[in-house]
Amino acid sequence: MSNEIRNLEPKALWNNFADLNAVPRPSKKEGRVIEFIKKYGESLGLPTSVDETGNVIIKKPASTGMENRETVCLQSHLDMVHQKNNDTNFDFSTEGIQMYVDGDWVRAKGTTLGADNGIGVSTIMSILASKDIVHPALEALFTIDEETGMTGASGLKGGLLKAGILLNLDTEDDHELTIGCAGGVDVTANGNYYEESIPANTVGYLLTLKGLAGGHSGMEIHLGKGNANKLINRILQQASESFGIRVSSIDGGGLRNAIPRESKSELVVPKENEAAFKKFVESEGAVLKQEYATTDPGLQVILEPKEISGKVLSKEFQDTLLRAIYAAPNGIFRMSPDIKDLVQTSNNVARVLVKDSLYTIQNLTRSSVDSEKMDLAREIRCTFELTGAKVDFNGSYSGWTPKPETPIVKLMSGLYREMFKTEPLVDACHAGLECGIIGTNYPNMQMISFGPNILGAHSPDERVQISSVQKFWGFLIETLKRVPKQ
């Protein structure tokens, strides 16, 4: 890794980020990073504990003269999204993230960077180790599994924390002070299907749709980016009707909280329709490139000859499945009627895997209104039940209701105006933040979320702005100085 990263300011933060990014930390496999943070707290001589869920809590006494101030909980999550480009040779289980400086940005080479939420974690580490930062009594809360279920926040028991204020360092726009967020639920359809032998007089092909921008399926759902699962299905469904293709497999998308960037399908086409099918794919690829030129300029549709050795979906099931995926809601479902420009409810058709008589379709449905979240989830369930699938709801979590009149919101809004001579955007976001879940066991805790500029989270294009990290750091340090008395 380039020493450029470690020489950035503030050095303590960037050095902690470099150390953290050497530790593999995928969601649900955080054992190594839990131990890393635990040892870090112990090395500082601070009271350090790991709760039964795996969350790490480190406590630091107030600096001199700040003993009568409200205790503050600094909170970030330890896990990161592991995504890479198909042509990137990288093993997340053994390798550290390969970072580099690109002008005012830090990026990773062909993978996610882990700035979400590694910058927050590294910031807290730096404050815990500091000998000269003025601060009240601190409780550092490092949660696990935020990205795929928020089980860390869900498993945090009441009574472990004494703080009256929680600062969540997990927002991705440095002019925003977030005071509310969406809840979510995983909607998963699973089923079996009948296979048939490959029809005679057919030719095999591999259809690949790739090069989409991807990104965070909450924070970036309003940008209209292409969803690889929906777009390849658009081609397959039309080709099934017009050219009699038979699908052998579909494999698209990955994590629920990432907009799918790639999908592929193995198929066969009758020889007499081969030329027309190839022309159609070429034409449809050009149409999609035009439609998504602004949001996904790298979109590619590639058709390659391939010998198909397996079987194909029965014609009846193929028609049913392709129609169901076509009909499945994706993207914005409803905008908030109360908060300007806020997506209220959405769905991401995140993963489609059809192979060897089994199929699964994974969705992440979000909303800041719980009743509407579940209404959309039921709509999706009904859609896929028509294919014969069993549809389950898992990992449901509530949103975070905005409370703009709390003292911490007023304090930080005024401080932002004082420091940066402009108004902050005090709003809610469409991502899932842990504040709402933590608040169920700590209902009287004041909460606010903020952070530096991070673009392309959950995709290999993820990057964090160096100057924005410096702005965020200064704002946080000044906030800690001004925390009100108990």
Rounded to 5°, the CA angle 109-112-117 comes to 130
Rounded distance between C-alpha atoms, residue 426 and residue 405, angstroms: 11
Q: Is 294 exposed, middle or buried (0-12, 13-18, 19+ CB in 10 A)?
A: exposed
DSSP 307-358: ---S-EE-HHHHHHHHHHHHHS--EEEEE-SSSTT-EEEEEEEEEEEEETTE
Place of tokens 């409370």: 403
DSSP 400: B
Amino acid identity, position 483:
V
Buried (b) or exposed (e) across 183-199, using 16+ Cβ within 10 A?
bbbbbbbebebebeeee
DSSP 157: P
Q: What are phi and psi of 140, to 5 degrees?
A: -90, 120
DSSP 54: S
**461 catalytically annotated:** no
Q: Which of 28, 117, 33 is nearest to 80 (CA)?
A: 117
Q: Quick one: residue 204, left, alpha or beta (phi over 0 = left, psi -120 to 50 = alpha)?
A: beta
**91 catalytically annotated:** no
Q: Which of 165, 133, 161, 163 is nearest to 64 (CA)?
A: 133
- Catalytic residue (choose from 30, 139, 145, 146): 146
Q: Which of 116, 350, 325, 112 is nearest to 221 (CA)?
A: 350
- Catalytic residue (choose from 79, 147, 174, 427): 79
Q: Which residues are catalytic?
A: 79, 146
